A and B are shown apart, each in its own frame.
Chain A
Amino acid sequence: MAEVKLTNVKKIYDHNVVAVHDFNLTIRDQEFVVFVGPSGCGKSTTLRMIAGLEDISEGTLEIDGEVVNDLQPKDRDIAMVFQNYALYPHMTVFDNIAFSLRLKKTPEDEVYERVTRAAEILGITEYLMRKPRALSGGQRQRVAIGRAIVRDPKVFLMDEPLSNLDAKLRNQMRAEIILLRQKMNTTFVYVTHDQTEAMTLGDRIVIMQNGYIEQVGTPEEVFDRPRNLFVAGFIGSPQMNFFQAALERDGDGYAVSLHGHRVRLEGDRAELLKKHGAAPAQIVLGVRPEHLTICDGSDPDAIDGEIRVNEMMGSELHLHVRCGDDKNIILRVPTIELSQEKRESLKTGAHVRFTFSSKVAQIFDPKTENSLLWD
């Protein structure tokens, strides 16, 4: 139940190593914000600064309107779930969850009440008398969450809480976090390196790299309108394809040409470019694998490529294709649309012709790596 505001926050370690540069973000009350990025991008450091586990080198951090830079973690009214759970090994599950309440000298009746309620929400009532080492990974994770929700904190911090779980449990816990979030009226800050978690959980996603924020936006925004090459490549799986291409004028509109083919840009893409007055130039064209479609050999606008790897994923086929200098272009082909005959023709070494819709193309400046569709 609080707004978290970071203004020009910086983290500088010894020997002038800067882990976080000028971080500016306002997290609204009850919002679920996800920090995502590769390891070492500063996301965990930022979260730990919010928690008070790291000093803030410069800038201010406000929680609920109060500057908390110099407050100890215990005085910030936050809760945190750690990657390795950090359960106290010598305490039972009950004592683990009750720890913070007892430190605040809460009456035992109320402790009992609140711990059992939290345990019920998370379905761990039957383990209350066990020690953490007698629990499975998923159960430990629940206890860690229980320890956090029992306090009813202003801000709920989660540092890669799912990364120690196997794939199946991770999906399950992810769904539970979404449910949990609906039950709690709290601000969430969630750190992960997994873009799927970020997309499914976040109201807004903060994508970071090398200590800088690359883009902040809703999942739709960062997926549809990535600000730069890094964001475009990081969000979405398999990764977005990048082609070396040229932007050209086409009447009063624009076209891109690649591998000897020329595609006219339509819809908002053309309008945005026009609005910004883009000049013809070498560009990087980005198209997501699912937006590349196989077509017949007769299509004159189609691009030709050689299949190097053919991955059968069940519901879809991932084709890794080489088109001239663009060595690893991935096509994502739903198997349901393929005839048996067609499927067999897509063997390693065979050639395939494909095209893409210009409505979903991304255009980047190869030098600045920024999107030309953004201001």
Chain B
Amino acid sequence: MSEKNYTGASMKRHMGLQASRRIGNTAAYIVLTLISIIWLIPFVCILLQSFRVESTWQVGYVIPQQWGLDNYRNLWNTDFPKWYMNTLVMALVTAVLQTVIVLCMSYTLSRFRFKGRTFLMRFMLILGMFPGMLTMIILYRVLKDLGMTQANSVPGLILVYIASSGMGYYVSKGFFDTIPKSLDEAARIDGATRFQVLKKIILPLSKPIVIYTVLTAFMGPWGDYVFARYISFGTSAGMNVAVGMYNWLNKDQIASYYTMFCAGGVLVALPVTLLFLWLQKYYVEGVTGGAVKG
């Protein structure tokens, strides 16, 4: 085709692909940059304000006029270290026990066809429709009788976190479902008991889901507010970071604790975020698989 045959419309058709993609990409970069800024701003603010020394109030600017570690130092004079330890212990223990329970449940539901299996799954689905918070009223009183509330709330909260964790089996069951059943069958014919199948075949293949489960279980206690609030019931020594620091932002405390909240927030977020970034790949796999399986 020769040059002079190009009409306006056909010009547009011919330059189309490349040029329009370039325009589109530039727009996309602008939007992505904007998004990144919006998403990161609050965290940058927290970080910067945690170093602000000149006032503990909220202020109308982001960059401190006077830098220092006062806020971090002051944390030591509060119950913060206690809350931090509480949360850390709970997170570690929960990560281990919850993983064991979730894996037991999901592996069983994925691999065994026993009487009552569908009933069990439906039953748990229906149970899940009740607001979990409701159970706290009774659990608080029972745990209180057992001496596992208030100042001594760590074991009580661990129990609360892990006891019903079997109901969160969906994601890992979805993962196990993708491991071909014929592997189990081959191993059983090769002479393995069901336990050996789990130990020698399935678990070595389940690294991603084990890590995902550990990671989510570990993150749980750091973000929990409701259960910790019920079980610690106003006793500072038994609080986790969320309940403890929540009170700092009360109307009557915020003036003196605002920047300390930021400092505490940085200390809490740091280890969790680093761990998360390190294991990001597994988290993404778990989340994606879980959503598709429903």
**A→B interface (CB under 8 Å):** 51-53, 72-74, 78-80, 82-84, 86-90, 99-100, 103-104, 147, 151
B186 within 8 A of A: yes
B185 within 8 A of A: yes
B190 within 8 A of A: yes
B8 within 8 A of A: no
Is the CB–CB distance between B182 and A72 below 8 Å? no
Name the residue of chain B whose CB is nearest to the CB of A98: B190
Which residues of B134-189 have CB atoms within 8 Å of chain A's CB atoms?
180, 182-183, 185-189
B190: which A residues are within 8 A, CB to CB?
74, 79, 99-100, 103, 147, 151
Is the CB–CB distance between B201 and A88 below 8 Å? yes
B55 within 8 A of A: no
Query: Could you tell me the distance between the alpha carbons of A88 and B205 in the complex, rounded to whole angstroms?
Result: 9
Query: Could you tell me the distance between the alpha carbons of A80 and B180 in the complex, rounded to whole angstroms?
Result: 16
Q: How far is the CB of A82 from chain B (nearest CB, A)?
A: 5
Give the interface centre of A51, A53, A87 by most chain B CB atoms within 10 Å.
A53
Additional A-B contact list (14), CB under 8 Å, known A83-B182, A99-B187: A51-B185, A72-B188, A74-B189, A74-B192, A78-B189, A86-B180, A88-B201, A99-B190, A99-B200, A103-B190, A103-B191, A103-B192, A147-B186, A151-B190
Is the CB–CB distance between B189 and A90 below 8 Å? no
Interface string of B182-216 (1 = CB under 8 A from A): 11011111111100100011001100000000000
Is the CB–CB distance between B192 and A86 below 8 Å? no
- Please classify the interface of chain B as helix (H, G, I), strand (E, B), loop, or mixed, using the class held by over half of its residues: helix
Q: Which of these, B180, B189, B192, B196, contacts A79 with CB under 8 Å?
A: B189
A53: which B residues are within 8 A, CB to CB?
185, 188-189
24 pairs from A and B in contact (CB 8 Å cutoff): A51-B185, A52-B188, A72-B193, A74-B191, A74-B192, A79-B190, A80-B185, A80-B189, A82-B182, A82-B185, A84-B182, A86-B182, A86-B185, A88-B186, A88-B201, A99-B187, A99-B190, A99-B192, A100-B190, A103-B190, A103-B196, A104-B191, A147-B186, A147-B190
A104: which B residues are within 8 A, CB to CB?
191
Given contacts A84-B180, A84-B182, contact A89 B189 (CB under 8 A): no
Query: Could you tell me the distance between the alpha carbons of A87 and B183 in the complex, rounded to whole angstroms?
Result: 7
Is the CB–CB distance between A100 and B180 below 8 Å? no
B204: which A residues are within 8 A, CB to CB?
90
Name the residue of chain A whose CB is nearest to the CB of B190: A100
Contacts between chains A and B (CB distance < 8 A), count: 57
Given contacts A89-B205, A103-B196, contact A74 B182 (CB under 8 A): no
Q: How far is the CB of A35 from chain B (nearest CB, A)?
A: 18
**B→A interface (CB under 8 Å):** 180, 182-183, 185-193, 196, 200-201, 204-205
- Please classify the interface of chain A as helix (H, G, I), strand (E, B), loop, or mixed, using the class held by over half of its residues: loop
A103: which B residues are within 8 A, CB to CB?
190-192, 196
A100: which B residues are within 8 A, CB to CB?
190-191
Is the CB–CB distance between A74 and B180 below 8 Å? no
Query: Could you tell me the distance between the alpha carbons of A147 and B189 in the complex, rounded to whole angstroms?
Result: 11
Shortest beta-carbon contacts, A-B, top 7: A100-B190, A86-B182, A86-B186, A74-B191, A103-B191, A90-B204, A73-B188
A73: which B residues are within 8 A, CB to CB?
185, 188-189
Query: Could you tell me the distance between the alpha carbons of A83 and B190 in the complex, rounded to whole angstroms?
Result: 16
A51: which B residues are within 8 A, CB to CB?
185, 189
Name the residue of chain B whose CB is nearest to the CB of A80: B189
Q: How far is the CB of A362 from chain B (nearest CB, A)?
A: 39
Given contacts A89-B205, A90-B205, contact A82 B186 (CB under 8 A): yes
B183: which A residues are within 8 A, CB to CB?
86, 88
Query: Could you tell me the distance between the alpha carbons of A51 and B184 in the complex, rounded to whole angstroms?
Result: 13
Q: How far is the CB of B178 from chain A (nearest CB, A)?
A: 12
Q: How far is the CB of A142 from chain B (nearest CB, A)?
A: 15
Query: Could you tell me the distance between the alpha carbons of A53 and B196 in the complex, rounded to whole angstroms?
Result: 16
Name the residue of chain B whose CB is nearest to the CB of A84: B182
B193: which A residues are within 8 A, CB to CB?
72, 74
B182: which A residues are within 8 A, CB to CB?
82-84, 86
Query: Could you tell me the distance between the alpha carbons of A80 and B184 in the complex, rounded to whole angstroms?
Result: 12
A86: which B residues are within 8 A, CB to CB?
180, 182-183, 185-186
A78: which B residues are within 8 A, CB to CB?
189
Query: Could you tell me the distance between the alpha carbons of A104 and B191 in the complex, rounded to whole angstroms?
Result: 7
Q: How far is the CB of B292 from chain A (nearest CB, A)?
A: 21
A74: which B residues are within 8 A, CB to CB?
188-193
Query: Could you tell me the distance between the alpha carbons of A103 and B195 in the complex, rounded to whole angstroms?
Result: 12
Query: Could you tell me the distance between the alpha carbons of A285 and B160 in the complex, rounded to whole angstroms?
Result: 76
Query: Could you tell me the distance between the alpha carbons of A52 and B185 in the complex, rounded to whole angstroms?
Result: 9
Query: Could you tell me the distance between the alpha carbons of A74 and B200 in the complex, rounded to whole angstroms?
Result: 15
A52: which B residues are within 8 A, CB to CB?
188-189
Q: How far is the CB of A297 from chain B (nearest CB, A)?
A: 58
Q: How far is the CB of A147 from chain B (nearest CB, A)?
A: 7
Give the interface centre of B182, B196, B201 by most chain A CB atoms within 10 Å.
B182
Query: Could you tell me the distance between the alpha carbons of A84 and B187 in the complex, rounded to whole angstroms?
Result: 14
Query: Could you tell me the distance between the alpha carbons of A86 and B192 in the complex, rounded to whole angstroms?
Result: 15
B191: which A residues are within 8 A, CB to CB?
74, 100, 103-104
Name the residue of chain B whose CB is nearest to the CB of A90: B204
Query: Could you tell me the distance between the alpha carbons of A203 and B197 in the complex, rounded to whole angstroms?
Result: 35
Q: How far is the CB of B183 from chain A (nearest CB, A)?
A: 5
Q: How far is the CB of B186 from chain A (nearest CB, A)?
A: 4
B187: which A residues are within 8 A, CB to CB?
88, 99
Query: Could you tell me the distance between the alpha carbons of A123 and B205 in the complex, rounded to whole angstroms?
Result: 28
A147: which B residues are within 8 A, CB to CB?
186, 190
A72: which B residues are within 8 A, CB to CB?
188, 193
Give the interface centre of B180, B185, B191, B201 by most chain A CB atoms within 10 Å.
B191
A99: which B residues are within 8 A, CB to CB?
187, 190, 192, 200
A84: which B residues are within 8 A, CB to CB?
180, 182
A89: which B residues are within 8 A, CB to CB?
205
Name the residue of chain A whose CB is nearest to the CB of B205: A90
